[in-house]
Amino acid sequence: MIVVKKLQKNFPVKEPLLKAFYSLIKGRKIFVRALNGISFEMHKGEIMGLAGESGCGKTTTGMLLLHLDTPTQGQILFQGRDVTSLRGDELVSFRRKAQLIFQDPYESLNPRFTVRRAIEEPLIVNKIHNKNERSRRLIKAMERAKLSPIEALIDKYPHELSGGERQRVCIARAIVLEPLLLVADEATSMLDVSIRASILNLLRELTEEMQMATLYISHDLSLLGSICDKITIMYAGEIVEMGKPEHIVNFPLHPYTKALIAAVPVPEFYRRESKSVLVKGEPPDLTNLPEGCHFQPRCEIGKETCIIKKPELHEIEDGHFVSCHF
């Protein structure tokens, strides 16, 4: 469904006027290198998890997939077609097939819209004027999102709903156009723990039923391990490890992935004796990335090779990729 090839995104840094003029004279422009040539594939009926520290490029990746921003370099192939340069009607057509679930259901719903109007909004924007067709799609989306009883909820306002019901409205709004690509950015982080599992199971069911390609962005590796078909770990705008959940969670290979796994909270009665994995220092400055491996200043097993040569993402075993010399 989706093939991403060497995707790059640089954001220009806003400098004070005199400093900007000096940089112009020197022919030097400062950029935040948010993405540095990442490549991956997503398939029908598959959920791919994207994890990493804040600022690693997860949300930027989602924005580029949805064409909410334009990449600096690289390609995004959607059903075999490059969508990075779409404009006009072609872009409108693509966006019908690519939808987003926001992180905060309390802020992403218009407080003046009823549930009916909120879910119908994408149909109105996309000029589906037939009221019977809109009503059919509305009811179908609510049924798929398990918003029941429909008669009791359809004319309520957001403030009359629980957090879980609000997020289900957001999900219904995202799927009402029956998209082929769905991006969920921390879609359960604002919800109570008691209802997260039901929302995650719903996303899993919808992905399989509608044969979508779903990108789930999260900091929580234990969560990704429970619903994803594939997990991708990012660091400083690059993919450092990618594979099946059982590989990433149980047999991590990259030092950064091992540190993320070690940081997952485990109840005391499940805790096994193991050496803790700590990462020293801070993530690198994205305007001045280190040479070689970007993780080497914080890595305990790094050697001189890591400073000189940048590691390539290579396959260790079937479907398990890692970007590390050692």
- Three-state SS at 134: helix
Q: Render each residue's pLDDT in the chain as its tens digit; 326 residues.
A: 899 999 999 998 876 665 555 565 666 678 889 999 999 999 999 999 999 888 899 999 999 999 999 999 999 999 989 999 888 889 989 989 999 998 888 889 999 999 999 999 999 999 888 999 999 999 999 999 999 999 999 999 999 999 899 999 999 999 999 999 999 988 888 888 888 889 999 999 999 999 999 999 998 888 888 899 999 999 999 999 999 999 998 899 999 999 888 877 765 544 555 555 667 778 888 888 888 888 888 888 878 888 888 889 888 888 899 999 88
Query: Per residue, what are the HEC states of 262-282?
Result: HCCCCCHHHCCCCCCCCCCCC
Q: Which of 41, 114, 45, 122 is nearest to 76 (CA)?
A: 41
* pLDDT at residue 270 in the model: 47
- Answer yes or no: are the C-beta atoms of 69 and 63 closer than 8 Å: yes
Rounded Cα–Cα distance for residues 271 and 16 (Å): 51
Q: 115-125 and 163-175 helices cross at what angle (nearest 10)? A: 20
Closest by CA to 237, choosing from 309, 287, 189, is 287
Domains of the chain: 2-97+179-252 (3.40.50.300)
Would you tell me the crossing angle of helices 163-175 and 131-144 to the nearest 10 degrees? 130
Pairing of β 320-322 and β 181-185: unpaired
What confidence score (pLDDT) does residue 163 get? 87
Residue showing tokens 């057509």: 93
Residue 320 structure tokens? 């398990």
| φ, ψ at 37 (rounded to 5°) | 80, 50
How far is it, in rounded angstroms, from Cα 225 to Cα 14? 39
- Cβ–Cβ under 8 Å, residues 34 and 237: yes
CA 176 – CA 71 distance, rounded (Å)? 28
pTM beyond 0.75: yes
